[in-house]
Structure 1
Amino acid sequence: MIGSGNVDRLATVVLGGIASAVVAIALFVVYPETLTDLLGVLIAIATVLVGLRFAGNVADSLFPAYDVAEVAVEGPISRDGGGGPLPTSPGATPADDVVEQIDRADDDDNVRALLLKLNTPGGEVVPSDDIRLAAKRFDGPTIAYATDVCASGGYWIASGCDELWARDGSIVGSIGVIGSRVNASDLAEKVGLSYERFAAGDYKDAGTPLKELEEEEREYLQSLIDDYYDTFVERVSDGRDLEPEFIRDTEARIYLGEEAYDMELVDHLGTRREIEDELADQLDTDEVVVEEFEPERPLMARVGAGAQSVAYALGAGIAGVADERGFRLRT
C-alpha cells in the first residue's frame, strides 16, 4: 500500500523534474545540430538533475516519508566506542553518538515515536545511564526491543522506555554488578618484581594487582559494587515498575524471552512487524514508516551480537574499568 504522503512526495518530484526539463530545453537546446547544441544538451541534463534533487528536498520537507525513528545500541557500551576490556568483546557502542541520535530524532518534527533497538550485553555504567535518560526525555512513545541480547546495561537503558519487547529466544536480564582484579603478587615475587608504594590517600592504590588486598581495601571495593548495584536496582524498579526485592531475587540471572515475559521483565513478545503494528495503533495511523537514524560522524567498526555477544553477556555483563589500577567493575 502506498500512503498518501508517498504519493504527494512522488508527485512533487515528478513535477519538479518536468519543470526543470522544460526550463532546461527552453534555455539551452532545441535540436543538437552543432557542438554548441550538444553542450546545451549536457547543460540541460545537469539542470534536470539539479531540479530533481531540489524537488526531492522540497518533497522531503513538505511530505515526510517517515514518522518513527529507530536508533540502535549494538555491542558493549562505552563513552567513545573504544573496545571493551575483554579481548574477545565486539567493538563498543559510543554512548554519545546514541544520545545525539535520540536527541536529533526528538527535535525532528516528522518523528512521532522512537524505536530503540537493543542488541548489547551492557557496558560502562554512566554512558548506559546517559542513553536511558535520552530515551526517557523523548517526547513521544518509546519502545525498546531486544534482538539477540538485552543484558545488564542494555536492560538499564530499557528501563527508560515505555515498553520493552523481545523475541522468544532473546537473552534478557543480568541485573547485577561484579568487580574483579588480577592478583599478580605471587607471580611478581617469582620473577623478582617488587611493589613500592608512593601515594597520598590510604585507598589510592586499592586493587593494584602487584600486592595483596588488605581487608579494609576489600571492604572498600565491595562498597563501590554495592552502591552501583543499589543504583541499578533503583533505576529498574522505577522504570519498569517492579519491586526492588523481586529484582534482587533474580540474583543477576539471565532469562530467555519467554521466561522473562512470564516474570514481567518484558512487556511483550513479538516480531519487528508486530512492534510496528502496535506503534501504528498508538499513533492512530494505518501504518508507520521507520527511519534509521545514524550518527552524524562515522562509527568505529561494530560487530553484531552472534556468539561473541552471547558469550560476553553470559560471562561479563556491563564491563567498565573503574580506574587505572587494575580493578575492573562490571554490572
Structure 2
Amino acid sequence: MAPGWQPAAGPGPDAGAAGFPPPAYGQPAYAAAYAAPAKPRSRAWIVALVAVVLLFAAIFAGMASCTSLMSSSLGSAGLASSGPTAASGPTVGIINIDGTIDYDGTTASPEGLKAQLDRAEADPDIRAVVLRVNSGGGTATAGEEMSIYVREFSKPVVVSSASMNASAAYEISSQADYIFTAKTTAIGAIGTAMQITDVSGLLDKLGITVDNVTSSDSKDSSYGTRALTEEERAYYQAMVDQINATFIGAVAEGRDLPVEEVRSLATGMTFTGMDAVDNGLADEIGTLEDACDKAAALGGIGAGYRTMYLQPEVSDLSALLGLMGMETKAADDGLMAKEQDRDVRFEN
C-alpha cells in the first residue's frame, strides 16, 4: 500500500470491503481477510452425541453389574455354574438338590440331576458325589425317576442333609451309599398325598354354575367343582396306597431294611436327625464337610481331594432376562399348559 495512506471515513467508489482499499493490480486478493466474520456453527449435535455415548456406556455398565450379581446369586442357589467346568485331580462332586422336586430343569428335577450325574460319570477325576439335599419333597413321579438315577450311578454317593430332607427328597436320598443328617434336620416323611379342593359350596353362595361336559362321569372328579362320590374316593385312595407302596419299597431296598419296618416308619411325619439315625433312616450326624470326607474315602482317595459343584450353566443374559421377567415363549407356553392341566397330581 502507498506510504502514508489512511483509511477513509467511509468506503468510496474504489474502496474495498470494510473501507480497505482494493488490492494493487497483480497482487493476490485475500478475500477471507476482508470478508465479514462467519457466523459460528452450532456444536449442539456434538454435545448430544457425547450424551448418547455416555448413556449407552452407563446402560452397559449396569447390565454387566446386574448379570454379575445374578450369576453369583444363582450360583449360590445351584442354578449357575461356578468354578471349573472339569475336575483336575481326585475330586468329589457336589450336587445341590434344593427346593421342590419337580420337572423344572434344575438339579431338583430328573433331567437336571441326571445331566450332572452323567457329567460325573464321564469324568474320571470325579471319584464320588455328594448330594446336598434341602427339600421337603414334591412330585411323586419325579422323585421316583431321580431315585432310580441315583441307584444306577456307578460311583459312590453320599447325602448331606440340610434343614429338610423329606418325602420325595428322602426317597432319592435313600438310594445313596451313606446319609448324613444334622441333629435338627427334618428327615423322612415317608408317605403319599393327593389333594382335591371342593369349591362347589363357595360357587353356590356366589351364584356361579359350572357345567363340565365330559366323556365319562368321573372325568371331572378332580376339578373341584363338585364333591367326590364314594366310589371315586375309594378309587383315588387305592391309587395313593399303590404309589405309597412303591415309595416304601424303594426306601426298604435303598436302606437295606425290611419292608415292614419301613412301613411302620411311613407315618407321613418327619423325624429329627437324631431319631433318623436311631431308626435306620440315616447313618450319622455330620456336616457337608463330613459327607465329602466320607465320599472321598468311599471313592478311594485321600485327604488331598478337591471338591467341585456340579450344576447347570446359566448364561448372564438368561439370568438378566429372568430377573427382568422376560421369559421365553416356551416358558410361557409351559406355564399355560400347567395352568390348564387339571389332572391328578400325587406328591411324596
**How far apart are residue 152 of structure 1 and its match?**
0.3
Q: Which amino acid aligns with 1:296?
A: E
Is 2:337 the partner of 1:329?
A: no
Matching residue of 1:281: 297
Separation (CA, whole Å) in 2 of partners of 1:94 and 1:165: 22
SS in 2 for 1:112: strand
How far off its partner does 1:279 sit? Answer: 3.0
Cα distance, 1:203 vs structure 2? 2.5
Measured in 1, the distance between the counterparts of 2:199 and 2:343 equals 11
Is 2:133 aligned against 1:109?
A: no
Aligned residue type for 1:290: T
One-letter code aligned to 1:70 = I
Structure 1: give runs of 5+ residues left out of the alignment. 1-59, 83-91, 302-320
CA distance in structure 1 between the aligned counterparts of 2:204 and 2:344, rounded to whole angstroms: 20
1:79 equivalent to 2:103? Answer yes
Alpha-carbon shift at residue 266 of structure 1 (Å): 0.3
Decide whether the 8 Å contact of 1:209 with 1:325 is kept in 2: no
Q: Deviations over 1:59-90 (max 9, x none)?
A: x99991452111110011111259xxxxxxxx
Does residue 129 (structure 1) correspond to residue 144 (structure 2)? The answer is: yes
CA distance in 2, matches of 1:134, 1:179: 25
Structure 1 residues 126-135 or 167-176, which shifts more?
126-135
Amino acid at match of 1:276: C
Match of residue 171 from structure 2:
156
The equivalent of 1:242 in structure 2 is 257
Matched, 1:225 2:246: no
Give 5+ residue unaligned stretches, structure 2. 1-83, 321-337
Please report how far the alpha carbon of residue 260 of structure 1 lies from its aligned counterpart in structure 2 after TM superposition.
0.6
Aligned to 1:314: none
| Aligned position for 2:15 | none
* 2:97 aligned counterpart, secondary structure: strand
Question: Which residue pairs with 1:290 in the alignment?
Answer: 307
Structure 1 contact 81–300 (Cα < 8 Å) conserved: no
Alpha-carbon distance in structure 2 between the residues aligned to 1:124 and 1:71: 19
What aligned pairs does 1:95-106 form with structure 2 within 5 A after superposition?
A: 95-106=110-121
- Judged with a 3 Å threshold, the aligned counterparts in structure 2 of structure 1 residues 62 and 268 are, in CA distance, closer, same or farther, namely closer
After TM superposition, list the pairs within 5 Å mapping 1:49-198 onto structure 2: 64-80=88-104, 93-198=108-213
Please tell me whether the aligned partners of residues 143 and 171 of structure 2 are also in contact (alpha carbons under 8 angstroms).
Answer: yes
Aligned to 2:271: 255
Measured after TM superposition, the shift of residue 324 of structure 1 is: 3.2
Q: How much has 1:245 moved relative to structure 2?
A: 1.8
Distance 2:102 2:286 in 1: 29
Q: Which has the larger radius of gyration?
A: 2
What's the offset of the Cα at 1:202?
Answer: 3.3
Shift of residue 276 of structure 1? Answer: 2.8
Residues matched between the structures, number: 244
| Cα distance in 1 for residues equivalent to 2:91 and 2:292 | 11
Which TM-score applies when normalising by structure 1?
A: 0.67
Contact 2:190 2:269 in 1 (8 A): yes
**Separation in structure 2 between the aligned mates of residue 160 and residue 135 of structure 1, nearest angstrom:** 6
Identity of aligned residues (%): 26
C-alpha distance after superposition, 1:231-272 (max 9, x if no partner)? 111111111112222222221221110111011110111122
Whether the 8 Å CA contact 1:184–1:211 is kept in 2: the answer is yes
